[in-house]
Amino acid sequence: MRYGLDGAPRAAIDEHFGAFVAFQKHLTAATSGVRGSGWGVPAYEPPGDRLVVEQVYVHHGNVGMNTTPLPVSRAWEHACAERLWTLVNWDDVANQFADVTSQAG
């Protein structure tokens, strides 16, 4: 399922993860793997001009370095990360992606 994501963000996902389904599995695993409170974070990394998935836990001391988060998926005690895919506003993700990539160039 494509979830309505097209254009540059979809092309970047295909380039950096091989396919949307691989990206989906990677982010779901990162989010599901958080123990306690934390986040699965798809982010844009300007130095590498690429998308990455980060796992952030205990937000006081574990933050992404040199990345800009796109939609953030909060996990709490094994929250159902698969539900994320039906809740994301993909138009907003596309707009965020356009903003961060234009600033990086």
10 Å CB burial of residue 81 (0-12, 13-18, 19+) is: buried
> Which pLDDT does position 82 carry in this prediction?
73
Q: Is residue 96 part of a domain?
A: yes
Domain that holds residue 66: 7-104
Total domains, the chain: 1
The pLDDT tens digits for 19-48 are 989 998 998 888 888 777 777 888 899 888
What confidence category does residue 93 fall into, taking pLDDT thresholds of 50, 70 and 90? confident
- CA 102, CA 97: separation in Å to the nearest integer? 8
Q: Is residue 85 part of a domain?
A: yes
Write out the two tokens for 14: 């295909």
Q: Is residue 99 part of a domain?
A: yes
Q: Is residue 1 part of a domain?
A: no
Question: Which pTM does this prediction carry?
Answer: 0.78
A 10 A CB-CB count for 102 gives: 8
Q: Is residue 2 part of a domain?
A: no
CA distances from 58 to 7, 21, 27, 71, 77 (A): 34, 28, 18, 18, 13
CATH number, domain at 46? 3.55.40.20
A 10 A CB-CB count for 15 gives: 10
